[in-house]
Structure 1
Amino acid sequence: MYTRTYLSHSPEETQRLGIQVGQNLGAGDLVALTGELGSGKTCLIQGITLGLGILNPRQVTSPTFTLINEYKGRVPIYHFDLYRISRPEELYELGFEEYFYGNGVTLIEWAEKMMGWLPPQRLSIHIKILSESQREIQFSTPQAKFEELLRSL
């Protein structure tokens, strides 16, 4: 398992880090984000989607009530928010796992709600609030592809 930690001093810095990550993602990649409410998961995802070719990050909002938002970038982007999920089985009833192996990038907020159900071939990101503006962003992955990505940041 490869782990790398970054310190962000602002939402803009978090978004710039996300852009670099997004520029290196491709079809079939899965990113699992964890962290408390208000830690910056959606902000990082906005950056990732910019890196994937979304022109307006304001169109990227957390799909708390709809569970999934789909965006068109250079590859399809599937953005899940599991905050309101009480049982992982709820997602499987909706065909959630089909997105894992599809032709797009899957981004999952509140991934801790189903971490045991996710494929191990993923990029995991945990965001910790340090202060009003500072965040510790920890990346971990067992995949060589993502390890190379993290070394390049």
Structure 2
Amino acid sequence: MTDNYKNTAYIYSKNPDDTQALGHKIGNLSLPGDLILMTGELGAGKTCFTQGVLNGVGSLEHVRSPTFVLVMEYNGRIPLYHADLYRISQTAELESIGIEEYFHSDGICVVEWADRFESIFQLDHLAIKIDWDEEGPSSNKRRIQLTSKGSRHAKLINDVIDSESHKTI
């Protein structure tokens, strides 16, 4: 039951290190089968956040943008599958890369540009929206919105905001 949990939280990041630290916390708390759907403008920090998630699952690998290979796989305490849908324009293309298999896998699936395919949002997930703060793209400051669909991800948000290392409203 999600009534005891926050379904949305806003976290403010002062710089890329803060953004990665938030990703690290989420990666550390994530479980096999978790789906993280990311949105935000080009250059907002989605890949930076994903680097933190990867470090949070215990991997020392460096995140490479999967724009040209579409899905990158990394090993940690649990696998991390990092998909980038920026170049995908049709559902048939999405199906051809077998994206559904990653959603129900033994690892965490992080999807950048998830808003290009609204049907993905029907699944239980943690949505991460990264926006520039009021200073705009020239600033390193970000406003990060965490929204859950499903009790598992609502608990994940609650666990993140209970952490003293992040300022939320």
Q: TM-score, normalised by structure 1?
A: 0.93
Q: Distance in 2 between matches of 1:88 and 1:134?
A: 34
- 1:3 paired with 2:2, answer no
Do the aligned partners of residues 117 and 89 (structure 1) sit closer, same or farther apart at CA in structure 2, a change above 3 Å counting?
farther
On the 8 A contact 1:88/1:113 being kept in 2, the answer is no
- Following TM superposition, the consecutive aligned residue runs of length 4 or more in structure 1 with deviations greater than 3 angstroms are none
- Aligned residue number for residue 142 of structure 1: 149
Equivalent residues in 2 for 1:3-152 (5 A)? 3-56=8-61, 59-130=62-133, 131=136, 132-152=139-159
Q: Deviations over 1:83-106 (max 9, x none)?
A: 111112201022211111111110
Q: Distance in 2 between matches of 1:115 and 1:66?
A: 22
Q: CA deviation at 1:145?
A: 2.1
Aligned residue pairs total 151
- Secondary structure of 1:123's counterpart equals strand
- Secondary structure of 2:119's counterpart equals helix
Q: CA deviation at 1:143?
A: 2.0
Q: CA deviation at 1:113?
A: 0.9
Q: Distance in 2 between matches of 1:148 and 1:96?
A: 25
- The aligned amino acid for 1:128 is D
**Unaligned 5+ runs, structure 2:** 1-5, 161-169
Q: TM-score, normalised by structure 2?
A: 0.84
Superposition RMSD in Å = 1.4
- Secondary structure of 1:47's counterpart equals helix
Q: Deviations over 1:84-134 (max 9, x none)?
A: 111122010222111111111100000011122344200001001123111
Q: CA deviation at 1:147?
A: 1.8
